[in-house]
Structure 1
Amino acid sequence: MLRICVIGGSRYFGKRLIRRLLAAGHDVTVVNRGLSAPPPVGARHLVADRDDEMALEKALGPLAFDVVVDQVCYTPRQADIARRVLGPRTRRYVMTSTVEVYEDEDSAAPVREEAVDPLTVPVDLDATDLPYGEGKRQAEAVFARDPDFPAYTAVRVAHVLGGADDFTGRVAHYADRIGAGKPISVPAPNRPATYIHVDEIADFLAWAAEADFTGPVNAASHGPLTTAALCAAVEARVGGRTVFREVEEGEESPLSFRRAYAMDNSRATALGFTFRHTGDWLERAIDETLGGVAV
């Protein structure tokens, strides 16, 4: 049994992660602001704003952990607070990062972890309004540069699909436009991207919490998907017809990308995790998310 602290994690794949950790017999503590549904039964729940260093210290009290899984670290300042408050309380730290750390890449070959080295990323601890990918890059850098920080990994998560509780609205956007025959704006050219099912990333994070490897690691199902493949699966579910409109600039549809930065998952595979193929779960993911859409 491990003592595991999950920061955030009250919804989507976070709550699935907590259920897996509890089912495995671990002692789970969840820390969040208490603004969403409570964590699954069996987890200890502490309420604190992670941006408030003193409040976080007070909420944690004397608690110490074997592993911290940080689901909601979005800025270098948040990482800096976590480094001071949580670093001394744990022996392993797992940060949920993102494929968007590679958003400046444009590679025909899947991108490996070394494409973004957190030790070379400039950090601005005062920055509060960073783009998502840049905030994650700088947060990774804060943890990676502290020589006294515990064993640390950043899980760079592919775009997540599936689940009736998908709150992003991305698949619903496609369903609405396809069902109505409205054009879907995509960049020219439109590049494929890597994806992972919501249950698979919960499995991966639970596995990473119990492992001992360090450094960044990509988490993605085999088989990048194009926007056309996603829309074909949606069209099969809701009917209608997919109409693409290429745009040189301006607003594009979600899950369409000008740059190619599909992730290489060979490091995680070599470490022992077995990924599924997107073809094994894409139709089910669309069905789960669009369960309430009339057909």
Structure 2
Amino acid sequence: MSDRICVIGGNRYFGRLLVERALAAGHQVTVVNRGSAAPPAGADHVVADRDDETTLGAALGSRVFDVVVDQVCYTPVQAAVAARVFGGRTRRYVMTSTIEVYDPASAALPAVPLGTPVTEGVVDPAGWPVAAGLPWYDAAYRDAHYAEGKRQAEAVLARAGAFGFVSVRSAHVLGGGEREWTGRLAHYAERVARGEEIAVHAEPLPTVFVHHEELAAFLLWAAVGSDFTGPVNACSDGFLDVHGLCEEVAARVGRRPAYRVTEPGGAASPFSFDRHYAMSNARARDLGFAFSPVAGWLPRAVAEAVAATAVAATAVARPA
């Protein structure tokens, strides 16, 4: 059956892949963004700023949807605009959230025993306090309070009452080679290949990851393949720490990683953590979606990153 899907954002990385997969499956897809990039062929394109309620509503016109997938909701203010604009336009709303909502360094959260996978109930959007009056319009403030912005955005949409709401709390996303816009895997590929030191904590704790293709598949399934509501963790099976990740890179580039242990509280490389918030994917599995083991796709993701960084280095070195 064909569904009418609206994707807010969706112009890069796994969001674009989500749009491509939805189109390939025969769904009618509308992409809403500010016009910085055209959507894949076959998608309806609405150019609007999601922060401007009046303009967004006017640009959507009479369009209605079966489901909205919001890739770029970062604050309770944005969530409130979305709730008002899409209330009455859709029966289901899926927000892409993040593992960072569980970061114990960013909020007072219930204690989770070390090594115990974190479940969705640790952060309940139905009861999370919302402070819409904070300076969410300030980019620096928003970036510094990314996790709290996501928690409050979930809370606003969960309480909107105008649609069934799902928050997909994504693990750290890897894969895609040069399409991997975070550049974090490239960071490791480059540093290991060059023999440069990688800053790590004295005892880095494991975390969870998800492949960009599997996350796109899960978002599409959450949108049109199931009718559950509430938060759900999206991560591959298996924990992985920064040493395991670097060992995989080392096996690909043929060079041992060099580590530098940071002082307590010091800055470390992107996936070195001194706090525990590795997620459980048990709810997703119970709902009917089985994630693959991280060990099954990590070698391919690392190979793509190594190849992409090698191509980039060659391009820089090539004379004009």
TM-score, normalised with respect to structure 2: 0.89
Work out whether residues 238 and 293 of structure 1, in 8 Å CA contact, stay in contact via their aligned partners in 2.
no
- Give SS of 2:308's match: coil
Cα distance, 1:271 vs structure 2 = 0.6
Match of 2:130 among 100, 123, 126: 123
The amino acid of 2:173's aligned partner reads: V
* Cross-structure match for 1:156: 169
Cα distance, 1:154 vs structure 2 = 0.2
Alpha-carbon distance between aligned partners in 2 of 1:198 and 1:175, rounded to the nearest angstrom: 18
Cα distance, 1:138 vs structure 2 = 0.6
Cα distance, 1:169 vs structure 2 = 1.5
Cα distance, 1:236 vs structure 2 = 1.8
Alpha-carbon distance between aligned partners in 2 of 1:217 and 1:293, rounded to the nearest angstrom: 33
* Cross-structure match for 1:186: 200
TM-score, normalised with respect to structure 1: 0.96
Deviations 1:216-241 (A, max 9, x none): 00010001111011111111222322
Alignment of 1:1-295 (within 5 A): 1-36=2-37, 38-104=38-104, 107=113, 108-127=115-134, 128=136, 129-130=141-142, 131-146=145-160, 148-164=161-177, 165-210=179-224, 211-247=226-262, 248-294=264-310
Aligned length: 293
Deviations 1:220-268 (A, max 9, x none): 0001111011111111222322122222122110111111111110111
The amino acid of 1:162's aligned partner reads: G
- Give SS of 1:97's match: strand
* Gaps in structure 1 of 5+ consecutive residues: none
Cα distance, 1:188 vs structure 2 = 3.0
Cα distance, 1:189 vs structure 2 = 2.6
Identity of aligned residues (%): 56
- Give SS of 2:56's match: helix
Cα distance, 1:64 vs structure 2 = 0.5
Q: After TM superposition, where is structure 1 displaced by more than 6 Å over at least 4 residues in a row?
A: none
Work out whether residues 122 and 138 of structure 1, in 8 Å CA contact, stay in contact via their aligned partners in 2.
yes
The amino acid of 2:49's aligned partner reads: D
Cα distance, 1:167 vs structure 2 = 1.3
Cα distance, 1:286 vs structure 2 = 1.0
Cα distance, 1:87 vs structure 2 = 2.1
- Give SS of 1:109's match: coil
Work out whether residues 192 and 258 of structure 2, in 8 Å CA contact, stay in contact via their aligned partners in 1.
yes
- Give SS of 1:30's match: strand
Cα distance, 1:32 vs structure 2 = 0.4
Cα distance, 1:124 vs structure 2 = 1.5
